[in-house]
Each structure stands twice: as structure tokens, then as C-alpha cells.
Amino acid sequence: MKYVQEITRDEIRNLINQDINDVTGYSSMEFDSLEQAIEASVEAIYEKANDFEVLTQEMIDEQIEQYDGYLDGAKVGDLVWGDSEMWVSQSVVDSWYYQEESDSNGKHLDVSDIESLVCDYLILDRLDSYNKNT
């Protein structure tokens, strides 16, 4: 995490709450309340989103056989995000975010939809902040 400012639970919670309204749904089979669903999303994003690394040629070489395409547009020295077993470039996260944003436009979102948008937004924000200065 030495490369970017940590994504905090408060930052996540604030962004999620900006998209919550009186028709926001949640899984009543998983959660007893909207607040409980929000807090679960905050924790999920916090655990998932804070994995960044500066890309090396070794990382590219290790990943290219199994996960080709996830580093599209990235070059050695760029900040990338770790998604489980692979590294993901800014351009890939950008495409995910804008596709999700487009798909959700005009829809009533539930907490899981908001979670996905906020997570990708925060990851993209950190990648962009670092990469535009390199």
C-alpha cells in the first residue's frame, strides 16, 4: 500500500451512502437491515480494493499465459490492481466501471450493485492518481 493512499472504510461508506435512497434494495435473506447490508459491502470493498503494486516485467511474464488481456494498456512502472490471482490494468478497470455505470443508468440499484460501482470507482481513482504522475 506504499504507492497510494489506503482506501478507508469511511471513504467507502460515504460513497455508498451517496447512492442509497428510499428504493435501494438488499438481500433480505442475507441481511436483517439496509444498514447491515451497507456495512457488509463496506467490509467487502475494503478487503478487495486495497491491493496495488507497481508493474514489473516479471509480473507481466508470470501472468501472460493464464490471464492474457488483464494488463492491456499497462507498461512497466504503472500501478496495477490485484484481483485474486492476477494483476489488472487501469484501462481494464476503467472499462469495467464504465460498463457497470452504463448498465445501471436509470435502474433502481440494490446495495450489491452500488458495492460493485463504488469498488471499481475507488480502484480506478487510485490507479489514475498514480499513473497520471508517472
Q: What is the pLDDT of residues 94-124, one digit of tens each?
A: 999 999 988 888 788 899 999 999 999 999 9
Number of domains in the chain: 1
C-alpha cell at 61: 511474464
Assess if residue 109 is contained within a domain.
yes
What is the domain extent for residue 47?
9-19+26-131
Q: What is the pLDDT of residue 124?
A: 97
Assess if residue 79 is contained within a domain.
yes
Residues β-bridged to residue 110: 25
Assess if residue 120 is contained within a domain.
yes
Per DSSP bridges, beta strands 79-83 and 86-88 are antiparallel
pLDDT of 1 > 60? The answer is: no
Q: Confirm whether pTM is higher than 0.75.
A: yes
Contact yes or no for 52/126 (Cβ under 8 A): yes
**Beta strand segments in the chain, E:** 52-54, 79-83, 86-88
Assess if residue 56 is contained within a domain.
yes
Assess if residue 108 is contained within a domain.
yes
State pLDDT tens for residues 21-78: 999 999 999 999 999 999 999 999 999 999 999 999 999 999 988 898 999 999 999 9
Assess if residue 3 is contained within a domain.
no
